[in-house]
Amino acid sequence: MWFMTRIRFRPAVALASIAGASTLFLAACTQDASSTEGTESAAPSASDEAPAAEAPVNGVDAKVYASSDPETDAYGFVTPSGKWQCAIIPSKNVAGCASHPTAGPLGVPGTPQIASPDGGPPAEANFIAVEAGKEPSFQNWNQTVFPANAKVLPYDTTLAIDGFSCNVQFSGVSCREDATDKGFTISTSGYKFEFTPIPVSLPSASPAQIAPTAARLPQQARGSNQCGPVAYPETGKPATVVIVKGTLRCDEAHAMLTKYFAAPDKNEPVYSFDGWECRLAGDPGSAEIGYTINCTDDNGNTVVAQP
């Protein structure tokens, strides 16, 4: 396995050695590979010319992973483990990944602290990305990576669209800008600012088509995980409710969120009530930006609601 370094969701870039999700509504901060201290790979010696992009191995039909919202130019997926949600956003010239389902700090060894886009204190990056013509970086986003329920991208397959490619392997998820071959790889063990291609030894000619499935959430040892939707008055549309951690029941989670939705100050970035602290990221009124509501209490329960 590989990975060691440092990083969080404001743009931050760093090269990492590994042992044994630009200008989106996110006013993001970045730290790229060229600005990070630590162990760096040897610089290319032959030429500065970008390598020719290879054809994607086991490519899937990108249209299947497109957002169902006609106003949103994005192609998203969740990894089979349920740990990562990634997206290629052509209108933003970016491909990147965030933690799923919380969209919180990446929680990977070496993830750096990045300046807050709103002028707040530095925080651990919540997005790792590669933008067109730039070095891969860590960033801090205040919008959802993919404003819809993403499908699962099967292991050893590649999603490629508009100059970007992402693949999922048992060792992690990896994305790149095809023209420059610059990208990143991330897993629960760590990260590196280097694209990891699927081995060409894997059958790539006319691969069997694997129908994408609904994203599966990581299961917890106790408590409920996936709860039914609850109506979000701001949009009139259902919000998907997930108990990420704790022993809370679904009816209790729904009751808490219903009370939160009725609060006059619910659109504040942080709102506290009845022992709960709810943090809003994104914009519930924007289909393009989307939103995530992350609520925690003093008993160790964590509930997330998103479109």
114-149 per-position pLDDT tens digit = 887 777 788 899 999 999 999 999 999 887 888 778
Q: Hey, where are the domains in the chain?
A: 30-36+56-192, 226-306
Q: Single out the residue of 185, 76, 183 nearest to residue 133, CA to CA.
A: 183
- Within 10 angstroms of residue 91's Cβ, the number of other Cβ atoms is 12
The pLDDT of 15-39, averaged and rounded, is 38
Global pTM value: 0.55
Among 70-79, 100-109, 151-160, top mean pLDDT goes to 151-160
pLDDT per residue as tens digits for the range 177-197: 999 999 999 998 899 999 999
Q: Which of 96, 124, 121, 115 is nearest to 7 (CA)?
A: 124
Please give the torsion angle defined by the CA atoms of residues 211, 217, 221 and 226, in that order, rounded to the nearest 10 degrees.
Answer: -110
The closest of 150, 138, 34 to 94, measured between CA atoms, is: 138
Using the predicted structure, report yes or no on whether residue 262 has a pLDDT greater than 90.
Answer: no
Mean pLDDT over all residues of the chain? 75
pLDDT tens for residues 49-77? 444 445 566 889 999 999 888 778 899 99
| % of the chain at pLDDT higher than 90 | 31
The residue that leads in pLDDT, 81 or 307, is 81
Q: Which two tokens stand for residue 294?
A: 């992350």
Strand partners, 164: 161, 177
Q: What is the pLDDT of residue 42?
A: 32
User: In whole angstroms, how large is the CA radius of gyration of the chain?
Assistant: 19
Give the mean pLDDT of 290-302: 86
**Mean pLDDT, range 11-16, rounded to an integer:** 36
**Is cis: bond before 101, omega within 30 of 0?**
yes
pLDDT grade for 34, boundaries at 50, 70 and 90: very low
* pLDDT at residue number 187: 92
**Are 125 and 114 a contacting pair, CB within 8 Å?**
yes
Select, from the ranges 190-199, 200-209, 216-225, the one with the highest average predicted confidence (pLDDT).
190-199
Alpha-carbon gap, residue 288 to 20, rounded angstroms: 40
Q: Which residue has the higher pLDDT, 60 or 14?
A: 60
For 222-235, the pLDDT digits (tens) are 444 667 677 777 66
Q: How far is CA 284 from the centre of its chain?
A: 18
CB count in 10 Å sphere of residue 283: 18
